[in-house]
Structure 1
Amino acid sequence: MDLGIAGRRAIVCASNRGLGRACAEALAAAGCAVVINGLDAARLEETARQIADKTGAKIIPVAGDVSDPQIQKALLAACPEPDILVNNNGGPPRKDFREIDREAMAKGVVQNMITPIELIQATVDGMAERGFGRIVNITSMSVKMPIEGLDLSSGARAGLTAFLAGVCRTVAGKGVTINNILPGKMDTDRLRGGFERAVEQTGRSMEEIRAAQAAEIPAGRFGTAEEFGQTCAFLCSVHAGYITGQNILLDGGLYPAAF
């Protein structure tokens, strides 16, 4: 399917690896020029080269923490008039809520709520003036279904979701959509890190842990970064202009609900 976004300009935050990288690759394959971002400058340069070689697209790396206002300025300098913004950022580490102090809570809210809002504030009016804009926020299934130890991440991402629920409707008539993708158990480094912790805590093998967790998912498997990226690209396409304010679950049916 032609997504109709060839020649569009995109910013994809935290796109050095995993789900962010998959979104950047899918947009590049659709013909977008993409600004990518990550903490590791050397790795980011290599990622940019690999995506450019694979897709032929223009890929611009901007290294640094996307929660840093100076890095946000650098992203916007590299792409002053983005048509597409994919908000993504690392979340706070898994921790019992009793152990989270005020400083950690503030940092988590900045990472997963304030930072995407700041980038939307900086880009949405330009999108509206040009008559086209696609904003996709990568949040988490934990916005809908609690995950033990991820309370801070869940709370901040749920706050972002609620904040944007009204905002998205103020710009829908100007060709701008704002949606959220909620990943479930995707086969990424973050999920594998959870497996390693489970191995240490239970003494079971990695294979046993993987099999047990996959068995909990109705689809019988973990999601892939590639299918996540393709979903993001579709939400950024001309075909998704009537979809806004939605939480798209990619969880293989793990969240058990009708609505």
Structure 2
Amino acid sequence: MLTGRSAEKLAAAATGLRQRTGAQIDFLAGDVADPDSAEAIMREAAEWYDGPDVLVLNAGGPPPGPILEVGDDQWRAAFELLVLGPLRLARLALPGMAERGFGRVIVITSTAVRQPQPDLAASVVLRAAMTSAAKLLSREYASEGVTVNCVAPGPTATDRRHEILAARADRLGSTFEEQNAADTATVPAGRAGQPEEVGAAVAFLASAAASYVNGTVLTVDGGRTETI
């Protein structure tokens, strides 16, 4: 089941996934930053599927910008989206997973939590907070067959990446093509990743094969992150 704020985008994504996989794909519009909406989403999921066994938390990023240019209201909105919203869903899903003896919570973060990017300040700070929260969550039901992990993508060919590079180009007086070339030049693989490559990492962590992988961050970035 897919969920997000735009029913139109969800419908398009669900149709594409059905065509590619032949699987049953349902969707439900809602805003995880809103407590009532989050609870409604989980109630529907429980009714349709007898409770979620796998919860993938992939919130959109806040607007780009340096840290001192992020206003108080922006911080609050981003905190609801990137920290409180995911924690809300995890709080609702984890007990049921533990009762059934199997569960996976996978948080999509960013390599910027390990190697901060100055023009993505709000995302860096709050995704780092969510990474710490995921580490704490990973201990709660580990003995009941439940794991909590993060996937940290690097440059990935999505609309969001295009938006960030376009904003950077506008701020620096250059072009998207120049910023794209500069960005991929920092990746040893020499290219941006594909969404399917991030999806493969998520699928592994969601599987029974990853039952002993817990509380970790799996980086999918073509080798760009320099930290060990």
d(CA) in 2 for partners of 1:245, 1:146: 21
1:50 aligned to which of 16, 20, 28? 16
d(CA) in 2 for partners of 1:73, 1:53: 30
Matched, 1:88 2:58: yes
User: Per-residue deviation at 1:205?
Assistant: 4.0
- Give the match's secondary structure for 1:67: coil
Deviations 1:35-91 (A, max 9, x none): 101222122222222222322222111113221223212321221110000011112
One-letter amino acid of the counterpart of residue 15, structure 2: R
One-letter amino acid of the counterpart of residue 27, structure 2: P
User: Per-residue deviation at 1:246?
Assistant: 0.3
One-letter amino acid of the counterpart of residue 45, structure 1: A
RCO higher in structure (CA 8 A, sep ≥6)? 1
- Give the match's secondary structure for 1:57: coil
User: Per-residue deviation at 1:214?
Assistant: 1.0
Deviations 1:73-128 (A, max 9, x none): 23212211100000111121112322223222121111111111111110101101
Number of residue-to-residue matches in the alignment: 224
d(CA) in 1 for partners of 2:44, 2:14: 14
1:249 aligned to which of 205, 219, 225? 219
One-letter amino acid of the counterpart of residue 236, structure 1: A
Residues 1-259 of structure 1 aligned to structure 2 (within 5 Å): 35-80=1-46, 81-258=51-228
One-letter amino acid of the counterpart of residue 190, structure 1: R
Distance 1:164 1:42, change over 3 A: closer
* 5+ long unaligned stretches in structure 2: none
Distance 1:110 1:237, change over 3 A: same
TM-score (ref. length: structure 2): 0.92
Percent identity for Structure 1 against Structure 2: 36
TM-score (ref. length: structure 1): 0.81
Q: Say if 1:216 and 1:254, in contact at 8 Å, map to a contact too.
A: yes
- Give the match's secondary structure for 2:139: helix
- Give the match's secondary structure for 1:79: helix
User: Per-residue deviation at 1:221?
Assistant: 0.9
One-letter amino acid of the counterpart of residue 125, structure 1: P
One-letter amino acid of the counterpart of residue 44, structure 2: A
d(CA) in 1 for partners of 2:79, 2:40: 22
* 5+ long unaligned stretches in structure 1: 1-34
d(CA) in 2 for partners of 1:163, 1:198: 30
One-letter amino acid of the counterpart of residue 197, structure 2: E
Q: Say if 2:32 and 2:89, in contact at 8 Å, map to a contact too.
A: no
